[in-house]
Amino acid sequence: MVSNPSDQETEIAIDVQGIRKTFGLLEAVRGISFQLKRGEFLTLFGPNGAGKTTLLKILSGLTKPSSGTAVISGYDIVEGNPALRSEIGVISHSACLYEDLTPLENMLFYAKMYSLESPRERSVQVIEEVGLKSRMNDRVHTFSRGMLQRLTIARAIIHNPSILFLDEPYTGLDQHAAILLKEQLAQLHTEGRTVIMTTHDLDRGLEMCDKVAIQVRGKFVCFESGQDLERTSFLQKYFDAVESNK
């Protein structure tokens, strides 16, 4: 473990070394290693069942790796330091919101769980940021998929995390909601957050990324800079990688 992480001015936000995860005989993640600097945006592509969600669950501390290490913002994920969880915001397949509560009540609850100093003020602020202030006191179960996703973003950033993990955030969104989400993600990126996003959408995935990776059958078969990446050649590379690892 890196000592006294809060004092460190390290450039490396995420340092993953040889992470593996097995479920019985199934090896979901097979020795993945990479580094991300602060403020970098990594888009992770891969077919279904490639282990992308498992990798994000490991990095967010929800699942322990079978072997390997990962240091995030100076904290070793294996040690499960609660301070690490304050550094991370996660948008997963689930909204993690209580449907019978209002957005304000949901945010208030999470603000209290993150021990924020002014929970009410921060809750209102973050709801405003995602454009749901007018629906702040309606129950969440009345929300559309797009509104729910925006509220999920609010939940993920309420504690102002420096690192965001987004697991297929565009799934199930209509065009309008997807554009709104894209704008919000761009905003989060420009605020200097380190982001890892998994997606199947090549266009949206390549738009914002600084780094791009392809994960197939539990391992990275490609990890390169996303700058000046040509879409057609990347698409070919993606299909080649998937085909060769069948």
Partner 1 sequence: MREYFNHVKAIVWKDCVTELKTWELFSTMFVFALLVIIIFIFSINLSIVNSYDVGPGILWVAFIFAGTIGLNRSFMLEKENGCLQGLMLTPADRTALYFGKMISNMVFLILMEAMILPLFMIFFNVDLVSHLGPLLIVIFLGTLGFCALGTLLSSLSSHLKTREIMLPILLYPLLVPVVIGCVRMTGEILAGKALATQLKWIGSTACFDIIYIGVSLLTIDHILEE
Least distance from partner 1 to the Cβ atom of residue 140, Å:
9
Least distance from partner 1 to the Cβ atom of residue 82, Å:
4
Least distance from partner 1 to the Cβ atom of residue 164, Å:
12
Query: Alpha-carbon distance 69 to 34, whole Å?
Result: 11
**Of 73 and 238, which has the nearer Cβ to partner 1?**
73
**Of 78 and 208, which has the nearer Cβ to partner 1?**
78
**Of 113 and 179, which has the nearer Cβ to partner 1?**
113
Number of Cβ within a 10 Å radius of residue 17: 13
Q: Are 38 and 162 in contact (CB under 8 A)?
A: yes
How many residues are given for the chain? 246
Query: Alpha-carbon distance 161 to 153, whole Å?
Result: 12
* Interacting residues with partner 1 (CB under 8 A): 57, 60-64, 82-83, 85-86, 88, 90, 92-101, 105, 109-110, 112-115, 139, 155
Query: Alpha-carbon distance 88 to 72, whole Å?
Result: 9
Query: Alpha-carbon distance 231 to 202, whole Å?
Result: 8
**Of 11 and 79, which has the nearer Cβ to partner 1?**
79
**Of 105 and 210, which has the nearer Cβ to partner 1?**
105
Tell me 93's DSSP state.
Answer: S
Element (H, E) at 187: helix 175-190
Least distance from partner 1 to the Cβ atom of residue 235, Å:
32
Least distance from partner 1 to the Cβ atom of residue 157, Å:
12
